[in-house]
Structure 1
Amino acid sequence: MYSIIRLALALFFSAFIGIHSASAQQTANHGYGLIPYPKNLTPVNGTFTIGANVKIEYPLAEKTLLNEAKYLQEVIKQDLGITLGLTTTPGKRNIIIKINSNINEEEGYALSINNTQIVIEGKNNTGVYRGVETLRQLILQNAHQKGQVNLPGIKISDAPAFGWRGMHLDVSRHFFSIKYLKKFIDVMSLYKMNKFHLHLTDDQGWRIEIKKYPLLTEKGAWRTFNAQDSACMKKAIDNPDMEIDPAHIIQRDGKTLYGGYYTQEQLKDLIRYAQVRHIEIIPEIDMPGHMMAAINAYPFLSTKEGISWGKDFSTPICPCKESTFEFAENVFSEVSVLFPSKYIHLGADEVERSTWAESAICKEMMKANNFSTTAELQSYFVKRMEKFFHSKGKELIGWDEILEGGVSKTALVMYWRGWVPDAPIKAAKNGNKVIMTPGNPLYFDVVPDRNSIFNVYHFEPVPKNLNAEEGKYILGAQANIWTEYIPSEKRADYMFMPRMTALAEVLWTHKNDYQGFLKRLEAQYPILDKFNVNYRIPDLTGFTEENVFNKPVALKINTPLPALVIRYTNDGQLPTTNSPVLSNPFMVSSASKIKIAAFGPTGNRGDIYTLNYKQQDYFKPQAAGNLSAGLQLYFFGNKIKSVADLPLKSDTAVVVSNFAIAEGLAKEGASFSVRLSGYIDVPETGIYSFYLTADDGANLYIDGEKVIDNDGWHYPIQKSGQVALEKGLHRISLPFVEAGGGYTLKLEYSLNGSELKKIPDTWLKRIN
């Protein structure tokens, strides 16, 4: 009977939440769609009902837990509409929170739910709070009416794999309200992220009040529209989320200005809000580069007494004048008092040092200090600022450029340059603590596609070339959101969710259960709806962008979530909530252009897909003799922007087994281009769909026909196309260009609507 009851409960909650899993552990626990998944989870018989008669109990001797008790009281009121009483008196059927000194791991907690009570224990207040957020996820997943919720029996012991679980938001390029920052913190908190890196200053705007230098915000916080704003406005024609937020536009002296800033009082309020949620806000004031907004307000800061642009970046402040250090120390004195975090981020990346090389005062300083390069000047600035930070009880964080010219062992290195793969290894071996945030896949300003969540989930924070002891210097990781092309809060939501849930599980659970994660993610979308998060709706599948047919064909959309409604247009207009619903299947019998989009329960729209259909006869197989396995790879060392510009003559040619670049042809991080050529021997006649993912550009040609156009320098993007092929040999060509920084190239196929697969090596042939 015990086994039957337990099985019935498990099946009930599985159907209730809609969670299924491939792994044995997840199959046993599939009633609990938690992200990040706990370290240890065991189902327990019974249920506990949270209703108005339940109280939140915390020990009288642990009055510091009042913060966590009040937070739990607050969220239960939000989620269930009831206010539970707080008590220090032990009682039956209470939710009990308490400290357990036997829990050893930092942020560790235990959560148990049975018929009589709920108990949350933590190593400390932070551990208790993490347990509260786990309980909240269970409440949100199981609450289907106001007033009460029935929670399944469960026993959890849990702790994070990494101590640094961060999110970064750039508020300089485009500005965001305090209200939005609080919402951002709430979402971070729900998924146990604990570091909020707030990028407060850059060329495009100074966002923090500094009382000693009022012009930083009076003047530096505002700008006329720039090229990035114009690009956003152009995209807003098709996507309202790309509209510039009118709340941050003002009229001054006959000019339209964009911007805004936070007063110190506003930031104090935000910091308190984050502290309640056990999230540490780390401020970044980027120096010595990215200082155009400050130099525009105070021209004396630069070597040229004003702003200009060098080859790549803006004029930096001058590290060879005492007035510069006086300014910097005054700014960071106010910052250090305002932010209780033990960290301050100095930035120190992308410094245009050419003005230093030309400056007489810098030449004199380099000579006096026996510096041979301007990189040593940058190192001098960083080290001097670090010494000042230490005097304020703070630790310095810098982007990995601080390694150039030398860095002290006490500085924290934030690794982002994926094309310099040995940077985190060198830093860790040098004894520097490292935070991993490589552009691929952790720059969340890169527009997401169907591969994004997979790529984030399979990110490994600890580089493989570090041994166990050296690996301890990797504190964790964070994702960065740079907002040059993120002009609204809705767009910011879309860019970071649900990608952040994958990173949360990587950093907390650090176990690979991708299929289980995807199933558990399904339970999170209704929660995100309750948080008013404009998340990216999962990809629709079952089609390509370029489609062919030789007889009427059925368009069958695979809908990833049952609550989605697919709408379409065939007149060139964008789908809206008033557009017709796409029948499944939808028959196509003539050349046409169809736009489709999924709409969620709150009316949020997913990506718009434009499907082009054309009629095409099957391509006849090619005649070719004297063939061998593999493809011919022609390598070009040139820096080329388009595959159309590949030279006729290559630098070298080699044989490869599949669509991959042979190792050793190009230096790490170098630009290059290739052409892969040969034949594809398809085993049966059919409509073949191809999916080409490239960073940077690549095209696919079959029998001289362009099947996929994915050309140009860009981040990893997947494009797709179809071709009708008869069984046999067909010529194939794939030109590819890499701008430098670590290439991505992947070609997959689907036959007559099957799942995506790698092209087998046995299909590929070349002429001897």
Structure 2
Amino acid sequence: MNIRKLRFITLAIAITGCVNANAQSRADKFALIPYPKSLTPGTGSFQITDKTTIVASGAFANEAKMVNVLLSPSLGSQLAVTTKAAKGAIVIKRDERLTNPEAYTLTISPQQVVITAKEGAGVFHAVETIRQLLPVDVERAMHYNSLSLPAVTISDAPAYQWRGMHLDVARHFFSVSYLKKFIDILALYKMNKLHLHLTDDQGWRIEIKKYPKLTEEGAWRTFNNQDSVCMQRAVENPDMEIDPSHIVKHNGKTLYGGFYTQQQMKDVVAYAAARHIDIIPEIDMPGHMMAAINSYPFLTCNGENTWGKLFTKPICPCNETTFEFAQNVFKEIMAIFPSKYIHIGGDEVDRTDWGKSEACKQLMEREGIKDLPGLQSYFINRMEKFFNANGRQLIGWDEVLEGGVTPTAMIMYWRVWVPDAPVKAAKNGNHVVMAPGNPLYFDSKYDKNSAKNIYFFNPIPKGLTAEEAKLIEGAQAEIWTEYVPSEKRADYQYMPRMTALSELLWTNDQSKYDSYKHRIINQFARLDALDVNYRLPDLDDMIDTKVFVNADTLKVKSPLPGMVVRYTNNGTMPTASSPVLNNYIIYRSQVVKLAAFTASGRRGDIYTINYKQQPYAAPVKAEDAKPGIVVNYYPGDFKGTTYLPAAASEQKFVAPGIVVLEEVKAPSFGLRFKGYIDVPQQGIYTFYLTCDDAGVLKINGQTTVDNDGMHSPVEKSGQAALDKGLHPFELNFVEGGGGYTLKLQYSLNGSAPKDIPASWFKN
């Protein structure tokens, strides 16, 4: 090769390496989440000492205070706040030209820090950006003589105005201190709405002075079936232990519960408001009211307070005493929560008893109400008038659309199996918050795709014009707590995947996903300092069932620096004293359990790999095999794939692959895909089955992937050693109602997963 050309190539490689190194250094220095709209690194740094002043007008007094809340624990004293210009200061300025109330610019130079914004929310978001640029130890109030900020210019504003999290404190209760911690984490990642689900069948959590029994009695319960599940899971996972601070002895009974006094909640509301987070209270009605009805049975149509086929019996919309109660409750709620929005719930209402009530029959005739959904709308619309008269706006779950709703109500969409609900709402003129169960129910089980599914979620549903799309306010994620019994478990369920939601709603740039995956790793040390029990990163290439012909070597890369992977092969759970995994050779069938451990001994998720030794399965002959796969369709309710009938169904179709055909219309159903899979070469094939609810894949009559059970979308995987040719194939799938997910992919000898070609399926 020409020497000059060689030198050029060498120089190009060196330059490329420098560019990559600089890009990596920049990513580490500015590992911000959510990432700003515009970021330009500068030269040098600004040093903050206890002599630094804050220059701000009275209009930004709260934000100047928040700067001191951030800095003074590490500097040892409050920074002086002045309205006069000063050298080497942190300067907060108003900029009327900014149109977005949450927009800001942040300019850090060696001479000063300048924050400009139109409103306090924008200033506060700039302060939280500064927080992420500071050393992690400021979260621990570690003492510094000076704090260094890298020079940078940032111009920033959110893509969506509703960036929310929901926390259900009714099923399991959470302390005031945890609510404040939760608010701090929301603020750190520029979320601005906290939706508190304060009441449900299992507990009433807010003091209502006019109806004291709501908390004297309704805030407490004996352990229920959900508590029992938590107790069982706590045997292997201490995070699932029910918080003993919420357990009391009363009249010889062990009771679980708790509630917030009005003064406690006013304090929480003020804490959130200082951080520009709006707390939206939800008092769920007319359904989910068992905790109230137990103490005030006059609320029902017939005095009964029982479970129906699916849900509890609701309060009665046909008695004036019901409206008197509801309005009295909401008057006290409005005195606690200044939020423009009040959430009334309105979901999962068993209306059966309304149809039997003489009072309801008379009301429906008098008001011209045609059906029971219309009767629910009568209740919702009447309550909305009360809210509006008090300067508030009603929010309801998307069921409130069913009987008709005014265009002024806000709709919160959650039912993924009713995909046109947000479209209908927007076309009706309603503002909409997207909160679909998939992917935004954070009480659902994590898998390796959780963060990516959130990051690539599009809050704008198909079928809207550009003008209608403006009615989509944003999105929020839910933490329902039937099986979230502790504060540690709540942390685990929402972090770190909330950061993906934060970046989606603020930055809204899918091209930054690879950068996000690196930046989130940089955030873990800060979360450690904030005592957040976040879920540790996934171990790569974990396959539930692995096969090998002769031998295999199990090697797993540690997901983070300082973490080690430990294993057991005797059925016990890995502990901090289990052997460290280091190219473990598999030469016989066995079960291996793995977990990553931090230096402090904290354990990540446990992975169970079922190793099976098997030869390459010989193909079968099927001379008359035709393209496609036979689908047996079983309408009805099934609790798992084992409940599907063994016999062929009356309704059969031929599908091109693993898809749910349009002919499948039942809300709950089972499918059996049966035929052959024609693999093009010998190898170890890995199959990845994602389903909601249950699914089991069998190849050559052997269970390859077991994803059975009623659950949200989760990926499971398994392998089969196959020779080239046709192999018997069967996939059983059950949808229990509430929207389905079904996806099957494959990889060969460790290649990247991809969809199975339709040409492989035969029948």
Give 3-state SS (helix, strand or coil) of 1:432's partner.
coil
Whether 2:151 is the aligned partner of 1:153: answer yes
Stretch of structure 1 that moved more, 540-549 or 462-471? 540-549
Deviation at 1:759, TM superposition (A): 2.8
Matches of 1:409 and 1:164 in 2, distance apart? 19
Task: Name the structure 1 match of 2:728.
Answer: 731
Letter in 2 for 1:734: L
Q: Is the 8 A contact 2:678 2:762 kept in 1?
A: no
Give 3-state SS (helix, strand or coil) of 1:91's partner.
coil
Whether 2:555 is the aligned partner of 1:556: answer yes
Matches of 1:176 and 1:638 in 2, distance apart? 39
Whether 2:52 is the aligned partner of 1:55: answer yes
Task: Name the structure 1 match of 2:598.
Answer: 600
Q: Is the 8 A contact 1:537 1:600 kept in 2?
A: no
Task: Name the structure 1 match of 2:473.
Answer: 475
Deviation at 1:733, TM superposition (A): 1.9
1:577-596 alignment to 2 at 5 Å? 577-583=576-582, 585-596=583-594
Letter in 1 for 2:296: Y
1:311-460 alignment to 2 at 5 Å? 311-460=309-458
TM-score relative to the length of structure 1: 0.93
1:570-719 alignment to 2 at 5 Å? 570-583=569-582, 585-627=583-625, 629-644=627-642, 645-646=644-645, 648-662=647-661, 664-667=662-665, 670-719=667-716
Task: Name the structure 1 match of 2:134.
Answer: 139
Q: Is the 8 A contact 1:541 1:557 kept in 2?
A: yes
**Corresponding residue to 1:127 among 119, 122, 130:** 122
Whether 2:303 is the aligned partner of 1:305: answer yes
Matches of 1:661 and 1:558 in 2, distance apart? 37
Q: Is the 8 A contact 2:657 2:761 kept in 1?
A: no
Deviation at 1:341, TM superposition (A): 0.6
Letter in 2 for 1:325: F
Task: Name the structure 2 match of 1:174.
Answer: 172
Matches of 1:503 and 1:80 in 2, distance apart? 33
Identify if the C-alpha distance between structure 1 residues 49 and 391 changes in structure 2 by more than 3 Å, giving closer, same or farther.
same
Matches of 1:521 and 1:417 in 2, distance apart? 30
Give 3-state SS (helix, strand or coil) of 1:543's partner.
coil
Deviation at 1:601, TM superposition (A): 4.4
Q: Is the 8 A contact 1:639 1:671 kept in 2?
A: yes
Matches of 2:377 and 2:386 in 1, distance apart? 14
Q: Is the 8 A contact 1:58 1:65 kept in 2?
A: no
Matches of 2:186 and 2:726 in 1, distance apart? 52
Matches of 2:600 and 2:121 in 1, distance apart? 33
Stretch of structure 1 that moved more, 296-305 or 496-505? 296-305
Letter in 1 for 2:553: A
Matches of 2:63 and 2:554 in 1, distance apart? 52
The gaps in structure 1 that reach 5 residues or longer are 1-5, 20-29
Identify if the C-alpha distance between structure 1 residues 79 and 53 changes in structure 2 by more than 3 Å, giving closer, same or farther.
closer
Q: Deviations over 1:624-644 (max 9, x none)?
A: 335555434343434433334
Matches of 1:226 and 1:329 in 2, distance apart? 30
Deviation at 1:647, TM superposition (A): 5.0
Give 3-state SS (helix, strand or coil) of 1:41's partner.
strand
Whether 2:564 is the aligned partner of 1:565: answer yes
Identify if the C-alpha distance between structure 1 residues 758 and 719 changes in structure 2 by more than 3 Å, giving closer, same or farther.
same
Matches of 2:298 and 2:633 in 1, distance apart? 50
Stretch of structure 1 that moved more, 149-158 or 249-258? 149-158
Q: Deviations over 1:10-38 (max 9, x none)?
A: 76665557x4xxxxxxxxxx742211111
Whether 2:277 is the aligned partner of 1:279: answer yes
Letter in 2 for 1:517: Y
Whether 2:480 is the aligned partner of 1:485: answer no
Stretch of structure 1 that moved more, 437-446 or 50-59? 50-59
Q: Is the 8 A contact 1:199 1:284 kept in 2?
A: yes
Whether 2:762 is the aligned partner of 1:766: answer yes
Whether 2:70 is the aligned partner of 1:70: answer no
Deviation at 1:350, TM superposition (A): 1.2
Matches of 2:51 and 2:745 in 1, distance apart? 55
Task: Name the structure 2 match of 1:510.
Answer: 508
Matches of 1:95 and 1:447 in 2, distance apart? 44
Q: Is the 8 A contact 1:194 1:278 kept in 2?
A: yes
TM-score relative to the length of structure 2: 0.93
Identify if the C-alpha distance between structure 1 residues 611 and 7 changes in structure 2 by more than 3 Å, giving closer, same or farther.
closer
Deviation at 1:318, TM superposition (A): 1.4
Task: Name the structure 1 match of 2:194.
Answer: 196
Deviation at 1:369, TM superposition (A): 1.8
Letter in 1 for 2:63: E
Letter in 2 for 1:552: A
Matches of 2:21 and 2:125 in 1, distance apart? 27
Identify if the C-alpha distance between structure 1 residues 359 and 206 changes in structure 2 by more than 3 Å, giving closer, same or farther.
same
Identify if the C-alpha distance between structure 1 residues 589 and 333 changes in structure 2 by more than 3 Å, giving closer, same or farther.
same
Whether 2:89 is the aligned partner of 1:90: answer no
Letter in 1 for 2:762: R
Matches of 2:198 and 2:90 in 1, distance apart? 40
Task: Name the structure 1 match of 2:740.
Answer: 743
Deviation at 1:115, TM superposition (A): 2.7
Deviation at 1:406, TM superposition (A): 1.5
Stretch of structure 1 that moved more, 130-139 or 710-719? 710-719
Task: Name the structure 2 match of 1:27.
Answer: none
Matches of 1:540 and 1:618 in 2, distance apart? 28
Deviation at 1:66, TM superposition (A): 2.0
Q: How many percent of aligned residue pairs carry the same amino acid?
A: 53
Stretch of structure 1 that moved more, 400-409 or 541-550? 541-550
Q: Is the 8 A contact 1:162 1:507 kept in 2?
A: yes
Aligned length: 747
Matches of 1:713 and 1:559 in 2, distance apart? 32
Stretch of structure 1 that moved more, 468-477 or 588-597? 588-597
Matches of 2:262 and 2:542 in 1, distance apart? 52
Task: Name the structure 2 match of 1:25.
Answer: none
Task: Name the structure 1 match of 2:227.
Answer: 229
Identify if the C-alpha distance between structure 1 residues 637 and 324 changes in structure 2 by more than 3 Å, giving closer, same or farther.
closer
Q: Is the 8 A contact 1:75 1:136 kept in 2?
A: yes
Deviation at 1:210, TM superposition (A): 0.7
Task: Name the structure 2 match of 1:246.
Answer: 244
Task: Name the structure 2 match of 1:24.
Answer: none
Matches of 2:16 and 2:590 in 1, distance apart? 51
Q: Is the 8 A contact 2:398 2:415 kept in 1?
A: yes
Deviation at 1:687, TM superposition (A): 2.3
Deviation at 1:578, TM superposition (A): 2.6
